[in-house]
Amino acid sequence: MRASSALSIPCSTTPAACSDGTGASPQAIALMRQPIHGNRTHGWEKSYAGWSGGDLCSPQTIGHTGFTGTGLWVDFAAGRASDSADQSRPPHPPFR
């Protein structure tokens, strides 16, 4: 196991290093859920009324939407995750 120099979070290259099978350390998951400002956490967004994750998510849900139309939401209270992949923006114009 090695430590990430930027955040000093233990990490591993093998999912077996974490007992829950996620491949992320408990410290990394805690950091993802830790509020920074308003609805933002470290790289994620907490659920709020009208957010991209929908109204059925618990307050323990975090989500992230990508520029190209991808999204991932993790509801820790329900023990579920959901992803979405669509082409919500037009493709890049051809390079010349």
Give per-residue pLDDT as tens, 15-41.
Answer: 445 556 667 888 888 888 999 999 999
Mean pLDDT of 8-15: 46
Q: Considering the entire predicted model, what is its pTM?
A: 0.65
Q: Tell me, what's the pLDDT at 66?
A: 78
- Residue 8 binned pLDDT confidence (cut-offs 50, 70, 90): very low
Domain boundaries, the chain: 1-33, 38-96
Q: Are 27 and 34 contacting, i.e. CB atoms less than 8 angstroms apart? A: no
User: 44-92, pLDDT tens digit by residue?
Assistant: 999 888 888 888 889 999 999 877 778 889 999 998 988 888 765 556 6
Give residue 61's pLDDT.
92
Written as one letter, the residue type at 61 is: T
CA 93, CA 84: separation in Å to the nearest integer?
Answer: 24
pLDDT of 36 reads 92
Q: Are 21 and 12 in contact (CB under 8 A)?
A: no
Question: Residue 27: which residues within 8 A CB-CB, separation 6 or more?
Answer: 9, 10
